[in-house]
Chains A and B, each alone.
Chain A
Amino acid sequence: MPGLVARQTRAAIALTAPAYLWLALTIFLPLSAMAYFSFLDVAPIGGRESHFTLSHYIAFFTKEVYWRNAWRSFELGFYVTLLCLIFGYPAAHILAKHIHGRWREALFLLVILPFWSNALVRTFSWTMVLRGELGLLFTYWAIVIGLVHAYLPYAILTCYISLQSIDDSLIEAARSLGASPLQAFLRVTLPLSIPGLLAAVILIFVPVIGSFMEPRILGGKSAIMLGPIIENQFTAVFNWPLGAALSFLMLGIVLVFLLAASPILRRHWQ
Chain B
Amino acid sequence: MATSLAHWLTRTYLAVILLFLYLPIAVMILMAFNASPLYEFPFEFDLIWFKALLKNEKLMTAGFNSIGIALANTVVATVLGTLGSLGLNRYEFRGRQLLEILLLPPITIPWLIIGTSMLIFFFWTGIGRGLHSILLGHVALSIPYVMIVVGSRLKTHGASLEEAAATLGANPWQAFWRVTLPALSPSIVAAALFAFAVSFDQFVISYFLAPPGTSTLPVEIYTSIRKGFTPEINAISTVIILVSMGLMLLVARQYRFGGER
* Majority DSSP secondary structure for residues of B touching A: helix
Known: A120-B221, A128-B27. A33 touches B117 (CB 8 A): yes
**Which residues of chain A (72-99) have a CB below 8 Å from chain B?**
87, 90-91, 94-95, 98-99
The minimal Cβ–Cβ distance linking A18 to chain B, given in whole angstroms, is 5
A110, B258: Cβ atoms closer than 8 Å: no
Interface residue A251 (Cβ < 8 Å from any Cβ of B): yes
**Main DSSP-derived SS at the A contact region:** helix
A206 & B110 in contact (Cβ 8 Å cutoff): yes
Give A142 Cβ to nearest chain B Cβ, in Å.
Answer: 11
**In the complex, how many angstroms separate the beta carbon of A19 from the nearest chain B beta carbon?**
3
**Would you list which residues of chain B between 93 and 136 have a CB under 8 Å from chain A?**
93-94, 96, 99, 102, 105-106, 108-114, 116-124, 136
The smallest C-beta distance from A209 to any residue of chain B, in angstroms, reads: 7
For residue A29, CB closer than 8 A to chain B, the reply is yes
A9 to B233, CA, bound (A): 52
Q: Using a Cβ–Cβ cut-off of 8 Å, how many residues does chain A contribute to the interface with B?
A: 88
Are B110 and A250 interface neighbours, CB within 8 A? yes
Chain B residues with CB under 8 Å of chain A are 6-7, 10, 13-14, 17-18, 20-25, 27-28, 31, 39, 80-81, 83-84, 86-88, 90-94, 96, 99, 102, 105-106, 108-114, 116-124, 136-137, 139-140, 143-144, 147, 197, 200-201, 203-204, 207-208, 218, 221-222, 225-226, 229, 233-234, 237, 240-241, 244-245, 248-249, 252, 256, 258-260
Interface residues of A (CB under 8 A from B): 8-9, 11-16, 18-20, 22-23, 25-31, 33-34, 37, 43-45, 87, 90-91, 94-95, 98-102, 104-105, 107-114, 116-122, 124-129, 131, 149, 152-153, 156, 160, 202, 206-207, 209-213, 216-217, 227, 230-231, 234-235, 240, 243-244, 247, 250-251, 254, 258
